[in-house]
Amino acid sequence: MVAPAVNRALLGVAAFAAIGYLVAMVFTGALPQSRQRVQFEAKGVLRLAPEQIARVELARGADRAAFVRGPGAGWTREGAGALAPPLSERLSMAVQLMHTAGPVRVLEQAELAGVDLRQFGLDRPVLSIALHAGSGDVLRARFGGSNPDGMLQYMAIEGRAEIVLMSRFVGREWVAVAESVFPAR
């Protein structure tokens, strides 16, 4: 008869410990962390948080457009009014990808010595972008051609001697914005 009393006592101690743990979490505000999960770290070419980008300039050939962040999460095209929600979301996603999607490969200046840079398609870029925050220019980039297997796209960043290879989905998001904004060719 002693065993049931011991089991009840152990069960009571376990319940008391569990309640104490929950109370401690409430007071400290800490959530349990799993050490098996890897913390997200943005590895994109845009170091600033995407929400801090206040103005975007887009150029494709002779076509030019500028967008400013409007109230809320929306964007406005300078001289043309607010963007439709789907296009506004697409522009926000394009900016976000510049922050989160890192280069797959960086071609350093030493690797580019003696190489004809026109082979990267950056002499006549598919698209050029400029991102601005309150403090001015944050990032200017030109999207060039695809690599031989078509999975990556060359990109040159103003002020940097290297050329980066980005996943095609980054450039495709910017091209989709341009196709929605500029007249069809």
The answer, yes or no, to whether residue 1 has pLDDT greater than 70, is no
> Mean pLDDT: which of 45-49, 62-66, 79-83 is highest?
62-66
Mean pLDDT in residue range 62-74 = 89
**pLDDT tens-digit readout, 115-168:** 888 899 999 999 999 999 987 889 999 999 999 999 999 999 999 989 999 999
Least confident of 12-16, 22-26, 68-72: 22-26
Residue bearing the bigger pLDDT, 185 or 81? 81
Domains and CATH numbers, the chain: 50-181 (2.60.40)
The answer, yes or no, to whether residue 36 has pLDDT greater than 90, is no
C-alpha span between 135 and 156 (Å, rounded): 22
Q: What is the DSSP string of the chain?
A: -HHHHHHHHHHHHHHHHHHHHHHHHHHH-PPP--TTSPPP---SS--S-GGG--EEEEEETTEEEEEEE-STT-EEETTTEEPPHHHHHHHHHHHHHHHH---SEEE-HHHHTT--GGGGT-SS-SEEEEEEETTEEEEEEEEEEE-TTSSEEEEEETT-SSEEEEEHHHHHHHHHHHHHHSPP-
User: Which residue reads 């410990």 in tokens?
Assistant: 17
**High-pLDDT (> 90) share of the chain, %:** 54
C-alpha span between 162 and 112 (Å, rounded): 8
